[in-house]
Structure 1
């Protein structure tokens, strides 16, 4: 059902152009469409360079370029909507160029992407293993000083590590540390 409005969009645009053309004249509609195409192409050309420069300047100052890139993306979508002939697409393009509305759209888009990313991170692999957990942390970790001797532990199937104690630890005892 989501594809139905996209399929109807060109027919609605054409119907609206015919209705407006009946009221104001066909020449005015053609002039409007050509003007919007020229403005859209020039905006797309200008905004591409401007958004990349703004993102680069933000990166130099230590800001994350994500917001600048997202704003540039929405402006580019607005320019593309201006290039598409029709009055509805021009109205949607105008919405993309209004700063407070663009920020609202970006905020909602980022929130939606965050929820999707969190949902993706909590999913397990269809193969039964979590692809991001490679088994690290499954076991015990022991800290030791000195050299270690390893022997295969036949009962548990693991590796037994024996530690040689150094002289400094053998000579001192906890009761000696409390004496002055």
Structure 2
């Protein structure tokens, strides 16, 4: 009996890798806010993160304020921030954005934490963003936050990529967190 040949599948195309800084996200957010009235709401998302549309299939915001603060603290402390993934932007011949154009595939919680921090919705190290001096603002804006830009255009491929990126982990229980056990 001959065994069928098996092989490992080819990698999923999750996009091109970019190592950019937080100022790119802040610029996108400011651009979005100044053009918000001009956005065609018939073709765009109802939710946005740092100015990029969030597809309807994504879960709502779930990070607590403490998780948002911890993420921003991690940025200030120079810890790895992970990545976020955007879909390429593209338009049809009439200038209308194609479905999923520019959408957030992964990273909605992180991007929203940054947006809310820049909007002074919470403090980090007891300071609102607007209370920082120019030197500290520049330091924060120069923090690296890598991202990917995917160009899949098939809704099922986008769903598959999202599910593989967002649903693979198992959250730690409270008992599994470091430093909370009584050492007695």
- TM-score of the superposed pair, with normalisation by structure 2: 0.20
Q: Normalized per residue, which structure has more helix? A: 1
The structure in which a higher percent of residues are strand is: 2
TM-score (norm 1): 0.20
